[in-house]
Amino acid sequence: MRTYIVKRIGISVIILLCVTFIIYGLMRALPQSYVETMAMQLSQAPGAKSFDEWMAQLNAQYGLDLPMPIGYVTWLGDFLTGNFGDSWKFNVPVITEFANTIGISFAMGGIAFVLSTVIAVPLGILAATHQYSKSDYIISALALAGISLPTFFFATLLKLIFSVGLGWFDLYGLMGRDFAQLDAVGQVLDMINHMIMPVVTLTVIQIGSLMRYTRTNMLEVLNADYIRTARTKGLPESKVIYKHAFRNTLIPLVTVIGGSLPGLFSGALITETLFMIPGTGYTSYQAMTGGDIPYTMFFLTFIAIITLLSNLLTDILYAVVDPRVRIS
Amino acid sequence: MSNDKNVKPADQAEEQEYSLNDDRRVRVLSPGALIAKRFFRNRLAVVGLVILVAMFVFSFIGGLVSPYGQDQTFSTTTQLNTQYAGITETSSLRYNAAPGAEFGALVQSSANTAINSGATSFERNGVSYTIESPASDLYVISSGGQVVAYASTNVVSVPSGSQALPFDFQIAAITAISNASATEDTGADAPEVTEDGTVVVEEGGDAAADAADAQAAGNTFTVDGQTYSFDDSGNVMDASGTIVAMVSPFVISASDGNTAIPDDLRTALLTAIEVDASEVDYTAADGSEHTYTITYDAYSRVYNVTETTSNMVYDRYASPSPEHWLGTDGNGMDMLTRLMYGGRVSLIIGFIVVFIAAGLGVIMGGISGYFGGWVDNLIMRIVDIFYCLPSMPIIIILGSAMDAMRLDPWVRMIYLMLILGFLSWPSIARLVRGQILSLREQEFMLATEATGISVPHRIIRHLIPNVMPQLIVSCTMSLGSTIIMEATLSFLGLGVKFPFASWGNIISDVNNAFVMTNYWFIWIPAGICLMLAVLGFNFVGDGLRDAFDPKMNR
């Protein structure tokens, strides 16, 4: 087991190096970078230096005059020593900006994840235990509809109905206009009010695949021999389903939970952008479209690390919950 | 789900001819037919298939049937009020100096004082002037027996294109007209005034007849041996009926310095003011019809003449109508047609992306699974790297890079397909590898090896067909997600760009909150199309999965 984990970690590190190199190369290869835009702005100020001079100075300042591989090594060295640099777009240290935004993303992602699990798993089990019944068809159709629903369309519909039509929520943002005048409780309530639509969007988007996953796995388990044995023993159906079948369904669910970990940290890029929630998703979207290399590099590397870690964690957890895996 | 119930009694009767253990009693279906049968038994799958067929017909045949093109714009006319002219009534005396005579502002003020006090002479700077009043509101000022100026509230203006009029003529004309209007005559035919207060002018009225009318009414005067006649709008005509001057207390100036106001329009406008009409219909010399509205601004004491013109503009966000069933979009293009072409783009992109991904995935997965060893290890590590790459951020970065490069929308679309395809092959490669790993151990593969079939042949003819069911299911499902991905990118403005339509960039109009709240017909149909298409692919994919996997379909 230990050698397995060590080997996995070793491979993960190599993969991580490749991934960060690819991302760094991509960012460096951007034809019109943030630096160029900034040099253009600076050179247009009255009495400023020429564009080329500004370019040279800014490139040197940001370490972009180095060749790509050397630049990568420099970046890697800085990253490993905890020097993440300053965000170009937000003008604060990368880590500060990230710390400011991660909380809100994590809260939203967490609530949505809990909500979707609580709704999806029982429905998935219901569909599996009543296969080919009316409720199965309805749940399957709803699950597929949830998967098929484009985030942006659903979010816009929500906005139209609840913001424009009913006026319950604001269209955008995390804080209302009178946020500063509210007391502490009011501020929290205001933020919660603003988070309802994004969380509903996230939940509806996630719920479909989770429901299907539960149903498929439950069906697989229900077809297993030990379930037939349990039934022939004369156990009541509820006991068969909740004690024998459901516990075994939990094993593949570990993969889903592990797989959704990076999502909790990376924030919902599209949803946050649609609702302009200042979480990591929206921030990184702005950084990426604005060519902010330090922030994007930090963010994408962070996600890659979390992805690898969660894969590792999933595999280990799998071995923990499923003795068959441990033996082989 | 057993088949016994579905067997009709008639069939049973036919089959009873065979003995009980006769093989022919069992209806043998080919594997394909068996899958089809299972597929069509699944209601959701059939619904999905129907949706897909409908979407394809809508997108690919609809575009041919639609009478409009993808980027054909439509125009509409709007009524636009533009300021045409201002008419001021002269209320104070205006001085006109004789040619060569000096009559400055200081002298004018002295003259004003004299006229107001009713004096007949005044002195200024040692020069004495005498004032005569040949008609009301006309004062002729002379000095030393020489006429140096006249003052009047009437203004003599010349028709466009004519030369300035002699000084004597001006005085004579004003005298005659002022005296005539004092006796209230109505000789010449004025422009017709309709009941609703609209003045109608017809171009090319009989000028000579007008002159004759005026003469008959005795509205004539003679200057330098020539006889002129005038009508009561102040138009002065010579013997041939040509208008040579216009005398009126009203001054018309065009708002646009380049516009020359036609004389008959001028007459019509003045008549309208006299009779308090608010609208003037005018047919210009070139046959175009104009409508002018006159409003009086009491503050500046100006009659404003506004012309109501109809301008051609793009028919933006027009509501659904018989011509445009779903209205028009922000560029004045037919929404339904855009939707059809958008569907075509979205579906084609989906297919090409999945085709690229499946091609790469099958090749890489096949090689990896068949050869195993270090090749397998290498390819699987590459797959791991791809899995670890956050694809959405990378596509966003590349999309904004393409924005910065200002790529042609067509080239951009091709790049988009390549990028999406290249980022989504690893999952298919993993699936194919897994399948091949288990198939490789089976006896039929040993048989192919024993019979000496070549390696490419073994992979293509014997392994790939066995992977096909899984592959088809996976591709169908990923068609749906690819279409959503493309739509999301286009929605963010990083995917398919104008002039090409795609369901995503049609919906991106809602970034304008006004469109979102007021023009549902712009984005709701596109969203529904998108959802239906993806739903169709998912239903069909799900149905195929169940049909291919007999274990699931008990």
pLDDT in tens, B370-405: 888 899 889 988 898 888 888 888 888 888 888 877
Nearest to A271 by CA among B491, B523, B402, B399: B491
- Between chains, do A137 and B44 touch, taking CB under 8 Å as contact? yes
What mean pLDDT do residues A26-48 have? 74
pLDDT of residue B353: 93
Whether residue A301 lies within 8 A of chain B, CB to CB, comes out as: no
Whether residue A134 lies within 8 A of chain B, CB to CB, comes out as: no
- Between chains, do B384 and A11 touch, taking CB under 8 Å as contact? yes
B29 contact partners, CB below 8 Å, separation of at least 6: B37
pLDDT of residue B108: 82
Nearest to B469 by CA among B538, B361, B541: B541
Q: Which residues of B are less than 8 Å from A157 in CB distance?
A: 527
B445 contact partners, CB below 8 Å, separation of at least 6: B439, B458, B462, B463
d(CA B413, CA B417): 6
Evaluate whether residue B292 is within a structural domain: yes
pLDDT of residue A237: 85
Do B57 and B109 lie in one domain? The reply is no
Whether residue A225 lies within 8 A of chain B, CB to CB, comes out as: no
Do B211 and B348 lie in one domain? The reply is no
Nearest to B464 by CA among B483, B448, B488, B481: B448
d(CA A273, CA B38): 43
**Residue A154 pLDDT more than 80?**
yes
**Residue B12 pLDDT more than 60?**
no
Do B200 and B349 lie in one domain? The reply is no
Q: CA gyration radius for chain B? A: 45
**Residue B53 pLDDT more than 90?**
yes
Give percent of chain B with pLDDT exceeding 90: 6
B427-478 pLDDT, tens per residue?
Answer: 899 888 888 888 888 888 888 889 988 888 887 888 888 888 888 888 988 8
Q: Å from B531 to nearest chain A CA?
A: 6
Query: Minimum mean pLDDT among A102-106, A142-146, B260-264, B500-504: which range?
Result: B260-264
pLDDT of residue B185: 43
Confidence bin at A90 (pLDDT 50/70/90): confident
The answer to whether B222 touches B238, Cβ cutoff 8 Å, is no
A196-232 pLDDT, tens per residue?
Answer: 888 998 888 888 888 888 888 888 888 888 888 888 9
Nearest to B311 by CA among B75, B74, B78, B73: B78
Confidence bin at A328 (pLDDT 50/70/90): low
- Between chains, do A18 and B405 touch, taking CB under 8 Å as contact? no
- How far is the CA of A203 from the CAs of A115, A144, A199, A268, B160, in angstroms? 7, 14, 6, 11, 76
Q: Å from B489 to nearest chain A CA?
A: 10
Which residue in A31, A137, A156 is closest to B405 by CB distance? Answer: A31
Evaluate whether residue B192 is within a structural domain: yes
What mean pLDDT do residues A13-24 have? 88
Pairing between β-strand B198-201 and β-strand B279-283 as defined by DSSP bridges: parallel
Do B97 and B208 lie in one domain? The reply is yes
Do B425 and B531 lie in one domain? The reply is yes
Chain A interface test: which of B41, B538, B545 (most A C-beta within 10 Å): B538
The secondary element (H helix, E strand) that includes residue B335 is helix B335-371
- Among the candidates B310, B327, B359, a domain finishes at B310
Confidence bin at B201 (pLDDT 50/70/90): low
Nearest to A94 by CA among A83, A104, A84: A84
Q: Å from B38 to nearest chain A CA?
A: 13
Tokens of B238: 């010579």
Q: How many domains does chain B have?
A: 2
Q: Å from A159 to nearest chain B CA?
A: 9
**Residue B111 pLDDT more than 60?**
yes
pLDDT of residue B217: 60
Evaluate whether residue B36 is within a structural domain: no
Which structural domain range is residue B398 located in? 50-69+341-548
- Bridge partners (DSSP) of residue B245 are B236
What mean pLDDT do residues A256-281 have? 80
**Residue B187 pLDDT more than 60?**
no
Q: CA gyration radius for chain A? A: 25
pLDDT of residue B181: 64
Nearest to B130 by CA among B108, B106, B114, B152: B114
ipTM score:
0.84
Evaluate whether residue B534 is within a structural domain: yes
Query: Within the 255-294 window of chain A, which residues sit less than 8 Å (CB to CB) from chain B?
Result: 266, 269-270, 273, 284-285, 288-289, 291
- Among the candidates B310, B326, B353, a domain finishes at B310
CATH number at residue B63: 1.10.3720.10
pLDDT of residue B551: 57
What mean pLDDT do residues B474-484 have? 89
What mean pLDDT do residues B503-508 have? 85
Nearest to B330 by CA among B504, B71, B67, B69: B71
**Residue B205 pLDDT more than 60?**
no
The secondary element (H helix, E strand) that includes residue B140 is strand B138-143
Do B291 and B347 lie in one domain? The reply is no
What mean pLDDT do residues B317-337 have? 78
**Residue A292 pLDDT more than 90?**
no
Do B94 and B132 lie in one domain? The reply is yes
Which residue in B381, B388, B552 is closest to A219 by CB distance? Answer: B552
Do B158 and B271 lie in one domain? The reply is yes
Do B489 and B536 lie in one domain? The reply is yes
Chain B interface test: which of A24, A170, A289 (most B C-beta within 10 Å): A289
Amino acid residing at B144: G
B236-248 pLDDT, tens per residue?
Answer: 777 777 777 777 7
Mean pLDDT, chain B, whole residue set: 78
- Between chains, do B404 and A150 touch, taking CB under 8 Å as contact? no
Do B125 and B216 lie in one domain? The reply is yes
- Between chains, do A11 and B531 touch, taking CB under 8 Å as contact? no
What mean pLDDT do residues B317-325 have? 77
Q: Which chain B residue has the Cα nearest residue A160?
A: B517
Nearest to A8 by CA among A288, A315, A275: A315
Tokens of B309: 């013109």
Q: Please state the separation of Cα B268 from the chain's center in Å.
A: 37
**Residue B285 pLDDT more than 70?**
yes
A216 contact partners, CB below 8 Å, separation of at least 6: A128
pLDDT of residue B3: 47
Q: Which residues of B are less than 8 Å from A145 in CB distance?
A: 531, 535
pLDDT of residue B360: 92
Q: Å from B191 to nearest chain A CA?
A: 56
pLDDT of residue B209: 54
B72-99 pLDDT, tens per residue?
Answer: 777 777 777 777 788 887 777 778 777 7
- Between chains, do A270 and B488 touch, taking CB under 8 Å as contact? yes
Query: Minimum mean pLDDT among B198-212, B250-264, B288-302: which range?
Result: B198-212
pLDDT of residue B389: 84
Evaluate whether residue B108 is within a structural domain: yes
